[in-house]
């Protein structure tokens, strides 16, 4: 079979990591692959037929980027091969957005540009917490400058930690998850959160599991979003009770993440969770350090 004109591989991601609301995320070693060829009309394979129309997120991201590049959006045959659950929280939508952007850059633009892809993805997604680690790999924090630009900062990350990813079958809509948040916060909570945010980054960089467990307690979004995830309390108690260093909602849910110091600890947590909920989608994943991989047919 002839190779596609373009293949884009994007890792799953977990945003927020508890205390890093909307500005911290990590790439995980679970990859969605998107293949692109020119076609006479739009064809999308590999996803639910209900998602294979002209409102498909890969296609709309491609078209949006073509518009901003001032180029025509040529019809494509898109093939999607994604093991990332679409129930929410593990960056499935960010992977689609990034793939569509890169298809526009490579196939009708001037070539893959990671920094430009980040800016474009933020315009589409609205925030950088998933797209930055998906593009650059590893642990990434982001900040918005006074002139409105977004800076993504990659961080070294310890190989000590393994991540037990859990995805219930039900969906928590991002819009609903955002509406669950309060309109304002106490100054004391904001100051406390800022200190914990810096501490969690240091703990992930250095592999300090004790420090991670001490600092990874969110005040901004998890107390409110946890109410939207029926299994959150049960799974959190199970994971922490069986040796996880920290437990977070992944993105806005419904996926959740147990962060464990070492593979053995991760396996103990996974076994306990499986015994509790045998039908729950779950994987033990290391961090992905490669980010988005682009292969162009020569």
What is the CATH number that goes with domain 161-285?
3.30.70.890
Global pTM reads 0.93
Assigned architecture for domain 6-155+288-296: 2-Layer Sandwich (3.30)
Long-range CB contacts (within 8 A, 24+) of 235-244: 235/166, 235/273, 235/276, 235/277, 238/269, 238/272, 238/273, 238/276, 239/164, 239/269, 239/272, 239/273, 241/272, 242/268, 242/269, 242/271, 242/272, 242/273, 243/268, 243/269, 244/164, 244/269
The pLDDT value given to residue 2: 64
pLDDT score recorded for residue 149? 83
The reported pLDDT for the residue numbered 174 is 82
> Quick one: pLDDT at residue 175?
86
pLDDT averaged over consecutive 10-residue blocks of the chain (298 residues)?
84 96 95 96 90 92 96 95 92 96 95 93 89 96 87 92 96 88 96 97 97 97 96 97 97 95 97 97 96 90
Q: What is the pLDDT of residue 51?
A: 82
From CA 141, how far away is CA 253, in angstroms rounded?
Answer: 19
d(C-alpha 132, C-alpha 65), whole Å = 17
Where in the chain is CATH 3.30.70.890? 161-285
- Within the chain, all domains assigned CATH 3.30.230.10 are found at 6-155+288-296
**Concatenated DSSP letters for 25-48?**
EEEEEEEEEEEEEE-SS-EEESS-
- Report the pLDDT value the prediction gives residue 210, as an integer from 0 to 100: 97
């Amino acid at each position: 079979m002839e190779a596609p004109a373009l293949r884009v591989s994007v890792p799953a991601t977990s945003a927020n990591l508890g205390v890093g609301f909307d500005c911290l995320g990590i790439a995980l070693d679970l990859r969605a692959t998107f293949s692109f060829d020119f076609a006479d009309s739009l064809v999308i394979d590999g996803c639910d037929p209900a998602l294979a129309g002209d409102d498909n997120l890969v296609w709309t991201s491609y078209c949006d980027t073509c518009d901003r590049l001032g180029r025509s959006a040529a019809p494509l045959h898109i093939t999607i091969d994604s093991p990332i659950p679409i129930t929410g929280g593990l960056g499935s939508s960010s992977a689609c957005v990034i793939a569509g952007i890169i298809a526009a850059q490579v196939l009708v633009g001037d070539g893959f540009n990671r920094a430009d892809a980040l800016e474009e993805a933020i315009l589409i997604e609205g925030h950088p917490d998933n797209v930055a680690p998906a593009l650059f790999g590893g642990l990434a924090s982001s900040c918005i400058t006074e002139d409105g630009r977004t800076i993504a900062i990659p961080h070294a990350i310890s190989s000590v930690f393994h991540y037990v990813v859990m995805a219930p079958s039900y969906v928590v809509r991002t819009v609903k998850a955002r509406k669950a948040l309060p309109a304002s916060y106490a100054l004391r909570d904001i100051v406390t959160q800022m200190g914990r945010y810096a501490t969690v980054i240091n703990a992930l960089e250095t592999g300090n599991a004790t420090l991670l467990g001490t600092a990874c307690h969110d005040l901004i979004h998890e107390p409110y979003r946890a109410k939207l995830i029926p299994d959150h309390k049960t799974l959190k108690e199970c994971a922490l009770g069986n040796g996880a260093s920290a437990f977070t909602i992944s993105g806005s849910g419904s996926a959740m993440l147990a962060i464990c110091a070492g593979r053995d600890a991760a396996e103990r947590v996974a076994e306990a969770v499986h015994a509790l909920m045998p039908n729950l989608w779950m994987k033990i994943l290391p961090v992905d350090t490669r980010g988005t991989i682009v292969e162009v047919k020569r």
